[in-house]
Amino acid sequence: MAGGFAVEAKVAGGGERREFKGKITWYVWLCGIIAATSGLMFGYDVGISGGVTAMDGFLIKFFPSVYARKHRARENNYCKFDDQRLQLFTSSLYLAALAASFAASRLCTRLGRRRTMQLASVFFLGGTALCAGAANLAMLIVGRICLGVGVGFGNQAAPLFLSEIAPAHIRGALNILFQLDVTIGILIANVVNYFTSSAHPSTGWRYSLGGAGVPAAVLFLGSLVITETPTSLVERGRRDAGRATLERIRGTRDVGDELDEIARACEAAAALSAEESAYRRLRRRESRPPLVIAVAMQVFQQFTGINAIMFYAPVLFQTMGFKSNGSLLSAVVTGGVNVVSTLVSIVAVDKIGRRRLLLQACGQMLIAQTAVGAIMWEHVKANGNPGEKWAVAIVVLICVYVSSFAWSWGPLGWLIPSETFPLATRTTGFSFAVSSNMLFTFLIAQAFLSMMCSMKAFIFFFFAIWIVIMAAFVFWLLPETKGVPIDEMVDTVWRRHWFWKRFFTDAGDGRIGNC
């Protein structure tokens, strides 16, 4: 398992490079796999809610009026799931996660990344119990809010944890483990929904919602086994513990150079934060480039329309004419494509580069979205829905769309914000990325069914227009960060970029930049 490596690092304040010693140990992979379980919890929730809202037993218990509308005549097919309270069931989780992500950045600094993940799993276990045992809508929503707090804490701590324990040359791949687990969580949820709805038509939703307890329990138990990151230990004044941890995860006692580098970065960040808080520092002109990129990556990720598919695929496929089980099965197929295509990204991201992956995906997504919109439009004109034959073509097109998202905007939405901030603003800056993701996930979850009702086939053209905008953004404004050491971003990337360089004065950038 272990293989030797040498990592290039820029020494603080100097131009020379030196190498860190170490191996890729089984322990670093174990810690990475356990921490990524946080993504599994997030993904399971994304995938489970759409299937549950398509189950009759669930609708009869909590949303009888939607159930009645669903089984009425077909003339208003696009509107049969349009219900604000039903959408609140899905979206409330993301609103809670949005609020929690701000607190999570402080928790990560004060308690450490490991404890923050542990806390996430506790909220998750509580939320799961409330949802699975819900006797009324209030209990269900409170359960979703607890799950949301767990997601907010987990999504902040896990990507940071992964980046900090990873040897630099496999940082991209380890970081993408998080998104890989998100997609696996969605797929598992789709499979669970498929079986619970057929085996237990009236109570299947309870098993589906209860299943979220499994990844939460794994993360809770796993968090007792994994280590805290060396950076977090040193940051909190526990340098000896940081050294011991580094020795263990690198499989060598020769970790002096890397430890010094971490300590130097922590001291520089501490000196800066004694002068000025990270929030104030983020308001500086020099902080704008990474902040704009981090927020834009997440906003655009959501405006690809991915969660319209992930949350509501079963509902969408029913709208198009599939029977209930056929639509759940189709959601399983799209979920599978999502997982496999994320694996492609692990291999490609450090070879092909971020910009090329994102631009290629924009082209592929644009074609697929426009084609789905066109098919739907033809049938809306004829006042009908596409029916099973066309619905199969639509499933294929949605797979084409999902695959390109999964090797680009999905993982890179997390990777790029985690690698472009200097250490002094990294956790706080990253929390803006997490909260932007949650805010826009909430908006899509809350608005999509109503948008589908009023826009019908045009919903797909709406997302297609956003894809054109984000392609232009990547083309002109997103710098390539492939292979750039994390502490050289200011000099190598931002100061050389045709647009972003104007945000740096000759004297000022070093203050926020390289530690």
Ligand X SMILES: OC[C@H]1O[C@](O)(CO)[C@@H](O)[C@@H]1O
Q: Which of residues 173-192 bind ligand X (CB under 6 A)?
A: 179, 182-183, 186
Kind and range of the H or E run holding 4: strand 4-10
Output the six-digit token pair for 269. Answer: 């960040």
Residue 111 vs 182, nearer CB to ligand X: 182
Nearer to ligand X, 266 or 467 (CB): 467
Binding status of residue 441 toward ligand X by CB under 6 A: yes
Could you count the other beta carbons within 10 Å of the beta carbon of residue 90?
26
Residues 456-515 touching ligand X, rule: CB under 6 A, are: none
Q: Are 485 and 8 in contact (CB under 8 A)?
A: yes
Q: Does 148 bind ligand X (CB under 6 A)?
A: no
* Region label for 444, one of left (φ > 0), alpha (ψ between -120 and 50) or beta (otherwise): alpha
CA distance 85 to 83: 6
* Least distance from ligand X to the Cβ atom of residue 370, Å: 21
Verify binding: residue 307, ligand X, rule CB under 6 A: yes
- Total residues belonging to the chain: 515
Helix H or strand E segment including 52? helix 26-53
- Closer to ligand X by Cβ: residue 223 or 408: 408
Q: Whole-number minimum distance, CB 459 to ligand X, in Å? A: 17
How far apart are the C-alpha atoms of 364 and 123, rounded to whole Å? 38
- Binding mask 314-343 toward ligand X (x if CB under 6 A, else -) reads ------------------------x-----
According to DSSP H, which parts of 276-323 are helical?
278-282, 288-303, 306-320
- How far is C-alpha 2 from the chain's CA centre? 29
Q: Name which of 46 and 107 has its Cβ closer to ligand X.
A: 46
Alpha carbon 511 to chain centroid distance? 30
Give the amino acid at 43.
G
Interactions with ligand X, residue window 205-264 (CB under 6 A)? none
Specify the stretch interacting with ligand X by CB under 6 A; choose among 119-127, 260-268, 306-314, 324-332. Answer: 306-314
> How far apart are CB 299 and ligand X at their closest, in Å?
12
Kindly state the smallest distance separating residue 411's Cβ from ligand X, in Å: 7
**For ligand X, the closer CB: 466 or 503:** 466
Residues 397-416 that bind ligand X (CB under 6 A): 410, 413
Closer Cβ to ligand X, 252 or 364, answer by number: 364
- Measured CA to CA, the distance from residue 389 to residue 387 in angstroms comes to 6
> CB under 6 A: which stretch of 3-11, 130-138, 253-261, 305-313 binds ligand X?
305-313
Which residue, 327 or 408, is less far from ligand X as judged by CB? 408
Whole-angstrom distance, CA of residue 269 vs CA of residue 377: 55
In whole angstroms, the minimum distance from the beta carbon of 170 to ligand X comes to 20
Task: Name which of 302 and 428 has its Cβ closer to ligand X.
Answer: 302
For ligand X (CB under 6 A), the number of binding residues is: 13
Return d(Cα 499, Cα 494) in angstroms, integer: 9
Amino acid at 37: T
Nearer to ligand X, 401 or 500 (CB): 401
Contact residues for 200 (Cβ-Cβ < 8 A; gap 6+): 57, 207
CB of 388 to ligand X, least distance (A): 26
Nearer to ligand X, 229 or 345 (CB): 345
- Whether the CA torsion 309, 315, 317, 320 is positive or negative: it is negative
For tokens 């934060």, the residue is 273
Question: Residue 441 CB, nearest distance to ligand X (Å)?
Answer: 5
Binder among 28, 98, 234, 310 for ligand X (CB under 6 A) = 310
Q: Are 292 and 11 in contact (CB under 8 A)?
A: no
Site mask for ligand X (CB under 6 A), range 283-302, x = bound = ------------------x-
3-state secondary structure of 324: helix
Residues at the contact surface with ligand X, assessed by CB under 6 A: 46, 179, 182-183, 186, 301, 306-307, 310, 338, 410, 413, 441
